[in-house]
Amino acid sequence: MSTARNLQGTGASSGIAIGKAFVLPHWEWDVPENKKDVTDLAAEFERLYEGIRHSKQEITSIKQEISGYIGEQESNIFDAHLAILDDPVFMNEIQGIIQRQYKAAEVAVKEVIDKFVNMFDLLDDQYMKERALDIKDVGNRLLKHLIGTPDVKLPTDNKPFILVAKEVSPSQLVHLNPNHVLGIVTMAGGSTSHTAIMARALNIPLVLGLEGKLVEPIQTGDVLVIDGKAGIVLVNPPDAEIQRYSELRESEVRVLERLQSLATLPTVTTDGLRMSLFANIASLRDLEAALEGGAEGVGLFRTEFIYMDRETYPTEQEQYEIYCQAASLLEGKPLTIRTLDVGGDKQLEYANVPEEENPVLGFRSIRISLAQPHTFKTQLRAILRAGACGTVRVMFPMIQSVEQFRAAKRIFDEAKAELRAERQPYDEHMRVGMMVEVPAAAIVADLLASEVDFFSIGTNDLTQYILAADRLNEHVASLYDPFHPAVIRMIQTTVAAAQHAGIGVSVCGEMAGDPLALPIWLGLGVRELSMASGLMLPLKSELLKASAARSAAHWAELSKLKTSRDIREALERLGMGCGCAT
């Protein structure tokens, strides 16, 4: 057993875990010495193709296996793994080494994995660095089939443990039994990695980023306490610390039980102001979870995930059935459907989007839809038809000008005219809105407000674009600050324009679910917030203790502050009086 010590990593999936460590051996397949050179190239190519076939079958099987207990967005991670095996650059590199150098298939695969992983590791972009683990995961799976080496096995005695590893791939993670794995500690990785996303979906506490912080390695059998929110790992702590964290864990359970009891209560401030808390969803499974948490509607249906789990565009009927089912499940509560928002970090292989040096500012979102009007109209027809199933609204993403909104609205009106001529049931009076996530849209919000039925402020992209700071880039992540005065002012401008025009305005994105920001929305007069379903009940708890009048009275003072630090401190003071920042 190693010595007692406290370690600080990065919290990537919240929760407290207490248990014994199981250290996973570092899994990288070594190529046998007798597998260096070959003479029968045809046989090597056949071995390669057979390994690819087995790997694809295995990945597809994994995706089907996990689809029952994690969301669609998380299971789509394995589509990215399939895409790597279909990537012509990746495969051409392997084939080229076999053909030109007479190397065995596993040797060629190993060389290409190492080349791509090293290339990604050298990039400054943290998001791209984390994609190296996906390449390694896929490559190791292929090597396993070529070499015939079995998977690394976890303990089989069914005793719960905390998994410790240099890194854990998504493929390994999906085979972990959440009842046996209390938590995970990794040396490498980042909070935007696919492994971190999967851990959050499975509710497994995860602390990562301990590489370089261990003077002495963690050993199998060490007693660990991990805090997946604070990023703390205690190795062989004293009994008093174990007891303290045990009480904290029990307290978390009680808080969750208490929050669940709020799900059916009206969302009203102490002075009687009614707020609506809506959910952001990506699938029908997400919607079911949101309704359990008391969602009063859907403020953002991310339809791009319907497009990602396939090789061709979904048909009108396929989309209609999903949208109609969502509207029916809501039983009259509003369903706001955002049209296709791909490009940037969400690519469709079949969409023929060109590679770009800066895709976040490039050909994406509504720009793709307007350039592909037939595909756009297919989606709009499905949404309009779903309007006959419930209360449906449509919303265009990344609008930057009146001209752009009008262009999208023309195609929407054409879809209505077609359905009318075909005598298809649809919603003739469907409300049409737009996302405000581009600074240009916020600046001309007064002009756009006379054209649309509602605004939805996307705080994530709006903050990123206003501050010119990529929040996935570790070198500038500290500059990404939604409480920057420029962001607050741009939100204020947008809300004021909506209120002057008499149209609805909602806020979605991470800031909508942040209790610290609650006095901002109350002070501005925002009455609709949309967020991840897991944030709704904690925010509702604070809102039930808040005073809208108090927030409004302090808004003038708040809007004049010069730094984000001043704004945060003022919001914390406001929260102390209404519970908004606890």
Please report the domains of the chain, with CATH numbers, ordered by start residue. 5-21+174-257 (3.50.30.10), 40-147 (1.10.274.10), 263-577 (3.20.20.60)
Query: Which whole number is the average pLDDT over 72-78?
Result: 63
508: annotated active-site residue = yes
Of 257 and 522, the structure prediction assigns the larger pLDDT to 522
**Does 580 participate in catalysis according to the annotation?**
no
Query: What is the pLDDT at residue 577?
Result: 47
**pLDDT for res 581:** 46
Residue 307 has pLDDT above 90, yes or no: no
User: Which comes out higher in pLDDT, residue 566 or 210?
Assistant: 566
Q: Which residues pair with 392 in a beta bridge?
A: 335
Average pLDDT over the chain, rounded to an integer: 85
Give residue 197's pLDDT: 66
Catalytic pick from 81, 194, 484, 554?
194
d(CA 202, CA 165): 18
CA distances to 210, 253, 282 from 243, rounded to whole Å, are 24, 16, 39
Q: Is the per-residue pLDDT at 296 higher than 80?
A: yes
Q: Taking 60 as the threshold, does the pLDDT of residue 151 lie above it?
A: no
The annotation status of 565 as a binding-site residue, yes or no, is: no
The DSSP output letter for 201 is H
pLDDT at 271: 94
Residue 282 in tokens: 């990506």
Please tell me what DSSP assigns to residue 510.
G
pTM exceeds 0.75: no
| Residue in 571, 364, 575 with CA at minimum distance from that of residue 482 | 571
Q: Decide if pLDDT at 150 tops 80.
A: no
- Determine whether the annotation assigns residue 302 to a binding site: yes
d(CA 91, CA 96): 8
6 appears as a binding residue in the annotation? no
Stretch among 75-84, 282-291, 475-484, 560-569 having the lowest mean pLDDT = 75-84
Q: What is the pLDDT of residue 265?
A: 92
Q: Select which of 508, 554, 578, 580 is catalytic.
A: 508
154-192 residue pLDDT tens = 565 567 889 888 777 666 666 666 678 899 998 876 665
The first and second tokens of residue 526, run together, are 């925002």
437 assigned ligand-binding residue: yes
- Residues 311, 272 contacting (CB under 8 angstroms): no
What band does 387 get if pLDDT is binned at 50, 70 and 90? Answer: very high
Supply the pLDDT for residue 149.
58
Q: Which element (helix H / strand E) includes 483?
A: none
Cβ-Cβ contacts under 8 Å for 421 (sequence gap 6 or more): none
The whole-angstrom separation of Cα 282 and Cα 271 is: 34
Give the 3-state secondary structure of residue 12.
Answer: strand
How many other C-beta atoms can be found within 10 angstroms of the C-beta atom of residue 422? 9
